[in-house]
Amino acid sequence: MDAIEKVKVLIIGSGPAGYTAAIYAARAGLKPVLYTGGQPGGQLTTTNDVENFPGYPEGINGPQMMMDLQKQAERFGTKVNFGLVTSVDFSSYPLKVVVDETHTVQAEAVIVATGASAKYLGIPSEQTYANNGVSACAVCDGYFYRGKEVAVVGAGDSAAEESTYLANLCTKVHLIVRRNEMRASKIMQQRVMNTPNIEIHWNTQTEEILGDASGVNAVRLISNGERKTISVQGFFLAIGHKPNTDVFKGQLDMDEAGYVKVIPGTTKTNVEGVFAVGDVADRVYRQAITAAGTGCMGALDAEKFLVAKEMELAHS
């Protein structure tokens, strides 16, 4: 074990939420230290074009945007370290975090910004055509498929929402449902049924996504034991997200899906001095701009907490 690193504000994660928290914390003179996690830059590094983030009239490449955010955070004094948090101990104060199983960090405040990961079907062609016809976010990427035919896989509210959203942009949406019913709420199912350019494929599974160098051009399905191929230019996954919270189990309160619970209107968790920002605590919006907004909130909440802690110590 190397020497314990002592920091005022520790930020875990490096997407829009983590970097925004770092910018605000650094400008407040809190000397934040940020550990990037296993995917530096987070989910946006898997997105070629970000066109819905304010301030970029021509859009911006996802990895470039994350590099810009990192530079901005570093400009104000954030120390960015590559490393994955492998265990935490929030049972006593100061808070303790272990990075890469060997390095212990002791922090006065922790901002959790570990994000969430889209669930995939697990077929190789998903990765082959990632960002080239395969997407896990209709709101992010739907615009690129205007006037085209697309497929959505899923049966819950997300799948219903993404299908109806895409139906406004695309000529036709094929909704691929594994069983003979949807899990989505009745009102969302009704919206899908009432949208004329959505075709539901019941009892159907995706066998393969097909395409060439220019991207996806079809999807091969198995329906009631029979194969069929439909022509599509886009394939959207809407089978849910998994928040990256395994390392915090037993330490932070979470909902049944594993998202960190925060006090509404704040980023405060059940542990004093620990704040959760971005997609790790957001199962509804999951956008770069909302993640950045909560990142700002997390830094302000942490600053207020540290000021109160200092006053408490001064009067003890």
Its domain, for residue 191, covers: 120-237
| Two structure tokens written together for 180 | 């003979």
> Does 112 lie in the same domain as 41?
yes
- 162 and 112 in one domain? no
151 and 224 part of one domain: yes
**Same domain for 23 and 113?**
yes
Contact call for residues 238 and 138 (beta carbons, < 8 A): yes
Q: How far is residue 233 from each of residues 62, 123, 179, 254, 279, measured CA to CA in Å?
A: 22, 18, 24, 38, 28
Per-residue pLDDT of the chain (316 residues; tens, 9 = 90+): 568 999 999 999 999 999 999 999 999 999 999 999 988 888 887 776 788 899 999 989 888 999 999 999 999 999 999 999 999 999 999 999 999 999 999 999 999 999 998 899 999 999 999 989 999 989 889 999 999 999 999 999 889 989 999 999 999 999 999 999 999 889 999 999 999 999 999 999 999 999 999 999 999 999 988 999 999 999 999 998 899 999 999 999 999 999 999 999 999 999 999 999 999 999 888 889 999 999 999 999 999 999 999 998 888 7
Domain shared by 190 and 213, yes or no: yes
- On whether both 131 and 233 belong to a single domain, the answer is yes
Q: Do 277 and 252 have their domain in common? A: yes
Residue 298 and residue 65: Cα distance in Å, rounded? 21
* Predicted local distance difference test score (pLDDT) of residue 309: 93
Count of domains in the chain?
A: 2
Annotated catalytic residue within 141, 279, 282, 301: 141
pLDDT at 313: 85
| Residue 261 belongs to domain with CATH number | 3.50.50.60
- Residue 141 is among the residues annotated as catalytic for this protein: yes
The verdict on 146 and 102 lying in the same domain is: no
Residues 10 and 46 in one domain: yes
282 is catalytic: no
Which residues of 66-160 form beta strands (DSSP E)?
Answer: 79-81, 85-89, 95-99, 103-112, 116-118, 134-135, 149-153
Last residue of some domain: 215, 237, 259? Answer: 237
Residues 203-243: pLDDT tens digits?
999 999 999 999 999 999 999 889 999 999 999 999 988 99
Cα distances from 64 to residues 92, 250, 266, 301, 316, in angstroms, run 39, 36, 30, 28, 48
214, 237, 260 — which closes off a domain?
237
Rounded distance between C-alpha atoms, residue 85 and residue 304, angstroms = 25
Which is catalytic among the residues 2, 137, 253, 301?
Answer: 137
In the set 140, 170, 279, 282, the catalytic residue is 140
pLDDT of residue 1: 52
170 noted as active-site residue: no
Q: Are residues 174 and 147 in the same domain?
A: yes
Q: Are residues 228 and 271 in the same domain?
A: no
Contact of 25 with 32, CB cutoff 8 Å: yes
- Let me know whether 45 and 87 are in one domain: yes
Q: Residues with Cβ < 8 Å from 284, sequence gap 6 or more? A: none
The kind and range of the H/E element at 186 are: helix 186-193
**Given 189, 212, 237, which residue is the final one in a domain?**
237
